[in-house]
Amino acid sequence: MQRRLHAVQPGLPDPALDAQRIFRRVLEAMARPGRIVTVDGVDTVAPLYPASVGVALTLLDHETPLYLDDAARTAAAKQHLRFHCGCPLVDDPDRAMFAILADAGALLPLERFSLGSDEYPDHGATVIVQVTGLVGGEGLRLRGPGIDGEARLGIHGVPDNLPLALTANHARFPRGVDLLFCCGAELAALPRSTTVEE
Amino acid sequence: MEQSPRQRWLAVLARSSTDDLKAAFVALAPEPDYSLLRPPETGLVMVRGRAGGDGARFNLGEMTVSRCAIRLPDGTVGHGYVAGRDQQKAELVAVFDALLQDPAGGPGLLETLIQPLARRLAQRREAEQARTDATRVDFFTLVRGD
């Protein structure tokens, strides 16, 4: 029986250089929480935004189990990620190193993702969550490593009790999850080291 | 284990020379329209073998492999995996793999492309075998009296 990959779209046009470029953007977002960066040169793979796809093609490989929420788990998305990343898809969020959530409502509780251990805090999951808007200069008040004083990041389309969940996440440091918020081609990060207030 | 037709043509394509594939590509006139799904890339593959009475797997060694995936306008995906660093060869194999999957044009291409290539490979193997046989030395053991 031949499975025809009719719907697969091309991945990164220049895998090596594009992956490096996108990695630098993710690094910048993580190192300076609150900063919104752009992931360009990547197409949408419904329902995944260009930023989500770009991050996935850059960071995922056969050694990074991935959890997709129900909204993200379309045939096109699964096929694209399997073909280009080769990442194993898992049904249990606790066993995933990365998660892509197309529905920000599925973000909480954060505890169902892998939080890592004291010996291996890096096993805490990186959760890529798609949101409806990212705005600098308003919204959540961020403090901590990589932030000069205070930064502000408005995230639209997330549950109301997200700040509470992020505070609990931060309290678990060095364990916990790291969050990458994607909207269209834009990306902002909230690593577990960041203190969040409303 | 039975070899499927697709496995057979991919094996023949992978083992053929790049020059033969290039000539065949030009002969396709007009050139087929295709897009790169996965641009040609070269990497390492761990070759595994089976050993011992129970056939336990072991790592034989790493092998350089180049691969490519292309897509025809109708959506058919072709894959090319070849030994070595020849990325153009991987791309050519992928194009032919896609064309051979076409129920309309495939069988014809099988006749005009794969069969001759397969014959050429068989001839090369036979010539090699003959050359090797010529070097055969028969040893015989002297049985000692005691």
Q: Is the distance from CB of B93 to CB of B117 less than 8 angstroms?
A: no
ipTM of the complex model: 0.75
**Could you read off the pLDDT of A103-142 as tens digits, one per residue?**
999 899 999 999 999 999 999 999 999 999 999 999 999 9
* A1: confidence class by pLDDT, cuts 50, 70, 90: very low
Contacts of B75 in chain A (CB under 8 A): 4, 6-7
Q: Is the CB of B77 less than 8 angstroms away from the CB of A4?
A: yes
Sign of the four-CA dihedral B86, B91, B94, B95: negative
**Could you read off the pLDDT of A54-95 as tens digits, one per residue?**
999 999 999 999 999 999 999 999 999 999 999 999 999 999
Phi, psi of A61 (to 5 degrees): -150, -165
Decide if A14 touches B, using CB distance below 8 A: yes
Whole-angstrom distance, CA of residue B73 vs CA of residue B35 = 8
Q: Is the distance from CB of A140 to CB of A163 less than 8 angstroms?
A: yes
Taking alpha carbons only, the member of A134, A139, A121 closest to residue A175 is: A121
Q: Is the CB of A8 less than 8 angstroms away from the CB of B76?
A: no
- Please give chain B's pLDDT, 146 residues, in tens: 789 999 999 999 999 999 999 999 999 878 899 999 999 999 999 999 988 888 889 999 999 999 999 999 998 999 999 999 999 999 999 999 999 999 998 999 999 999 999 999 999 999 999 999 999 888 877 777 65
pTM of the model: 0.85
A163-171 CB contacts, 8 Å cutoff, 24+ apart: A163/A196, A163/A197, A163/A198, A165/A107, A165/A108, A165/A109, A165/A110, A166/A190, A166/A194, A166/A196, A167/A195, A167/A196, A167/A197, A168/A110, A169/A110, A170/A194, A170/A195, A170/A196
SS3 state of residue A5: coil
Q: Is the CB of A2 less than 8 angstroms away from the CB of B101?
A: yes
Decide if A45 touches B, using CB distance below 8 A: no
CA angle B99, B17, A86 (to 5 degrees): 55
Cβ atoms < 10 Å from Cβ of B106: 17
- In chain A, which ranges are E strands? 37-38, 66-68, 89-90, 98-101, 126-130, 133-143, 151-156, 178-183, 186-190, 195-197
Mutation for A interface: B77, B79, B91, most A CBs within 10 A? B77
Q: Is the CB of B37 less than 8 angstroms away from the CB of A8?
A: yes
Whole-angstrom distance, CA of residue B79 vs CA of residue B37 = 9
Q: Is the CB of B37 less than 8 angstroms away from the CB of A7?
A: no
Whole-angstrom distance, CA of residue B81 vs CA of residue A73 = 29
Mutation for B interface: A1, A3, A8, most B CBs within 10 A? A8
Q: Is the CB of A7 less than 8 angstroms away from the CB of B39?
A: no
Structure tokens at A6: 């009719």
Whole-angstrom distance, CA of residue B131 vs CA of residue B37 = 42
pLDDT reported for residue B146: 59
Structure tokens at A134: 């990212």
DSSP-assigned beta bridge partners for residue A189? A180
Decide if A86 touches B, using CB distance below 8 A: no
